[in-house]
A and B are shown apart, each in its own frame.
Chain A
């Protein structure tokens, strides 16, 4: 049996933690449920352009056109009557409706026959500019291609584009790092804030003060326990995202765990700062929420910070959760190394120092 206080205390605090059902719920169950729900809703599909096609021609040429459109990754093609599709458009179910006229196709039927000039009408949703623009762009270039092919003109200028992110990224790829970051934040802030305030209020810490225990030993045991939990949490969430939802995990696995550990240290230090200030759980809870809630919505956990107004984007650039989520996301999605992600690691390190100084000043045993 280990009689070194640090080791034995760590072992006991792991046991305590594993028996704490509320802690297990908040750390493993809740983040997992959030990820599964958002993963199943699959907001990633929203990134596609909903294109409605009204096929008035109903011929070989129109069938080929629809087929080609269906092959475009960014488009989700629906076919329907003019009346239905326009209704869907005004309901916001379509971003764009394309009407292929009855004279779509060669004037005389048959392979290689010449086309008469025709007009294809596209109606777009005025409220969904971004998606409509993307869809219109794709259609324009498609129709240009057709023009070249049909007129046989020589192509003088060719745009050569190269795909950089070759991976097919979905919402789950965005979501996984976000939920991992959120779970680490909640664990760090709440588990420390609550357990230390409880121990302080009930007099557990005072009782330990009557023993020759080195305060640093107790803190070390508590921190190590929670860092182990952070690693477990990251493994479980990433495991479910990758193996159940097929999320991308491009970067180095240990680099991601290192980012998770550093993020865990930042939020544990913030948790100690909260628990130092608060005398009761009733004071700790709102304070921890004030710190965590804005970050949950502004640090790019569930949706990209691109949708925020630019001032808010600048402010949220410096939030600790932003650094953590973006470091993990850079690694899992782009396959970045720690070196490539150095600004985010630096950001976390700076926050750790700030939080540590505050915690050191506010922490009390009684």
Chain B
């Protein structure tokens, strides 16, 4: 696939994402309550938090899918509130539950999405990244849950984006597919892309992310590298109930069933 060499707009040293005091209210609920953070180019950044903590809303404002009541988000130096379309050209988005047109083949969907960015898309490398080239003529509806998830990832890549947003990318995936997903994300990082993801799996955040932000009730309550956060906790005298073992049940599972993907 096309490896872009210069991902990210020239923001003259500005972080590729700058979020400043975002606020969004739905009726009585203050979904996002003064969120500010920055993401550096080439970083893998995670928003963590329980359901309803406001992470999806925050991400959707940055993606230009929702408008904030106040505050500002800039991607590649562009104010999303002012020019959402320009931001959408820079980014690739995988939503929590994506659906695509009926009666179209996977490869046709990718070509069609490409046409929206005025780009000619070769579906083969895109579908190969997510191991779905064999199913290129299938329709989205006939895919299994995990395959749909993987296809949504391929769809997020059609415009060769500088910034990729992934909303719970591994929810519902089996361990094999999850590990493949992690490898893919690590590969994007090596290509110089910036990745912003939300997840409920802490081992995922720990494995992948340079920095994580933990949200609760619409606010960021902490933001740092996973290592620092863990060390701080231990420094406060935290001890696990169970002894730390050298392997986990997941290691057992992968040892027994292998690491190769099961469904194509």
Contact = CB atoms under 8 A, between A and B. Distances in A.
Interface residues of B, number: 29
Given A209-B65, A211-B88, A212-B85, A8 B99 contact: no
Contacts, number: 73
B217 interface: no
Main secondary structure on B side of the interface with A: loop
Interface in B111-170: 111-120, 155
A206 to B, nearest CB: 7
A208 B89 CA distance: 12
A12 B97 contact: no
Contacts of B85: 212
Given A16-B101, A198-B102, A202-B99, A212 B112 contact: no
Given A210-B95, A212-B88, A212-B89, A19 B103 contact: yes
Contacts of A9: 112, 115-116
Contact of A203 (B86, B95, B117, B118): B95
A348 to B, nearest CB: 30
Contact of B116 (A2, A17, A212): A212
A207 B99 contact: yes
Given A12-B104, A210-B65, A2 B115 contact: yes
Contacts of A210: 63-65, 88, 93, 95
Contact of B108 (A12, A199, A209): A12
A5 B117 CA distance: 8
Main secondary structure on A side of the interface with B: helix
A225 to B, nearest CB: 12
B182 interface: no
A63 interface: no
Contacts of B93: 207, 210-211
A213 interface: yes
A3 B88 contact: no
Nearest to B86: A212
A4 interface: yes
Interface in A1-33: 1-5, 8-9, 12, 15-17, 19-20
Nearest to B112: A12
A8 B112 contact: yes
Contacts of B120: 1, 3
Contact of A20 (B65, B102, B114): B102
B148 to A, nearest CB: 11
B98 A203 contact: yes
B188 interface: no
B102 A16 contact: yes
Contacts of A199: 99, 101
Nearest to A203: B99
A4 B112 contact: no
Given A5-B115, A206-B95, A212-B86, 14 more contacts: A3-B114, A3-B115, A3-B118, A5-B116, A8-B111, A12-B101, A203-B97, A203-B99, A204-B101, A207-B95, A207-B100, A210-B95, A211-B88, A211-B113
Q: Which 3 A-B pairs rank lowest in CB-CB distance, beginning with the nearest?
A: A8-B115, A202-B99, A210-B93
Interface of A: 1-5, 8-9, 12, 15-17, 19-20, 198-199, 202-204, 206-213
